[in-house]
Chain A
């Protein structure tokens, strides 16, 4: 049981997908116009993540290595479709608010990333809890973004008015909502602000000794630094990467000798 608790802690705090790993940015930015959408999306993703992690872990010795990605995608897409119909049937308002972003859970980097890096190598129970932990971490992250955007952009949280709004016709003084925060640009600004806050708490040399991907930025999408990254296939390496690697090797060799 201890390892399961460790998985939960890992997902929610240590490797929080939104703030630490920067995964699943599409839905983080797109649907967080209000806190309730954030929770809905987060929980939908959690369910998909937990179930697909468990299923992939169950099948990890059956799926041949060469077709693992398509198999994972089919498993994930199946659960996403199930969740989509459940939402449509039982919470139609949320279903309408999230719209196209529900089926897009399939391509959320968190899910394939966890399938590849955790569920395909670990036992079922741990994988299930890894999925729940990561999902809750994601829920926490996007609900946080949603709360901030809703508070600044419309003066309420979960639809409950928090700051008294100004009402010009009644001559009432109060808070003038900054509407840009519930529109597209606000999403970028809020996320940037949150990462700045986190960065200023982190030590700057935290990635010492780890050499990131050369095509993609170090902190960009998980899938880039993982299975999809062309750098993992030698014959695909572009020229400038080969040059860069040669330079890096030279520099390191020089330091060692």
Chain B
């Protein structure tokens, strides 16, 4: 239980997936201009990463390990791509309201490097299936925290007069840098 809580806090806050590991930057920079869409993206990412961590770590520990672990990159990326398609189909058929809320973001997630990154991290840290799932969930929560905060700042920033050279990506990157510095404050949380 204790290890699970440590994983939860360290993946969600201390080693934030975007701000300290730079995974999932594409959606972090691209889909963060409104809080509403950012929260939708975050929810979709939580859903997909938790599920894909569960599935990839199950596959790794039951099928791939120890003989075929050189296949992990290929297998993981295919499993993730298939999973995203499957989730999209299932949601569309059975949970239409959830599909309406998350559907747009699902295809964007296949190329989100955080999903593959988490799956590979679970392997390198040799987490078991439960730990992997918790790690996936926590990482995705960390992503959601970061992207929603960024969207909040950007909504305010829209009213500011930003110099033309800084407009768009640079000012977002500077903001992200400042947020990353703020997140350093958490690094003492887990010794």
Contact = CB atoms under 8 A, between A and B. Distances in A.
Contacts of A85: 70
Interface in B21-69: 21-27, 29-31, 33, 37
Contact of B31 (A112, A187, A196, A216): A216
A230 B73 contact: no
A220 B29 contact: yes
Contacts of A185: 177-178, 180-181, 184
Contact of B165 (A186, A200, A217): A200
Contacts of B167: 199
Interface in A161-217: 180, 183-189, 191-193, 195-197, 199-200, 204, 215-217
Measured as residues with beta carbon below 8 angstroms from the partner, the interface class of chain A is 35 or more
Contacts of B111: 107, 109, 112, 221, 223, 228
Interface stretch (A55-63, A74-82, A130-138, A146-154): A74-82
Interface residues of B, number: 52
Q: Interface majority SS on B: helix, strand, loop or mixed?
A: helix
Interface string A85-108: 100000000000001100110111
Contacts of B173: 188-189, 191-192, 195
A228 B107 contact: yes
A122 interface: no
A180 B167 CA distance: 24
A180 B181 contact: yes
Contact of B30 (A27, A192, A217): A217
Given A80-B73, A186-B177, A219 B168 contact: yes
A68 B121 CA distance: 28
Q: Interface majority SS on A: helix, strand, loop or mixed?
A: helix
B20 A184 contact: yes
A29 interface: yes
B73 A103 contact: yes
A84 interface: yes
B136 interface: no
A199 B170 CA distance: 9
Contact of A104 (B110, B120, B168, B174): B120
Given A30-B21, A195-B169, A215 B77 contact: no
Contacts of A100: 117, 120-121, 124
Nearest to B75: A77
Interface of A: 22, 25-27, 29-30, 69-70, 73-74, 77-78, 80-81, 84-85, 99-100, 103-104, 106-109, 112, 180, 183-189, 191-193, 195-197, 199-200, 204, 215-221, 223-224, 228-230, 233, 236-238
Interface of B: 19-27, 29-31, 33, 37, 70-74, 77-78, 81, 103-105, 107-108, 110-113, 116-117, 120-121, 124, 164-171, 173-174, 176-178, 180-181, 184
Given A81-B70, A229-B108, A233-B107, 18 more contacts: A30-B23, A73-B78, A74-B78, A80-B73, A104-B113, A104-B120, A106-B73, A108-B113, A185-B181, A188-B173, A189-B174, A195-B173, A196-B166, A200-B165, A217-B33, A217-B168, A219-B168, A230-B103
14 contacts: A30-B21, A77-B73, A77-B78, A100-B124, A107-B112, A108-B113, A112-B111, A184-B19, A188-B177, A192-B170, A192-B171, A199-B167, A218-B168, A221-B26
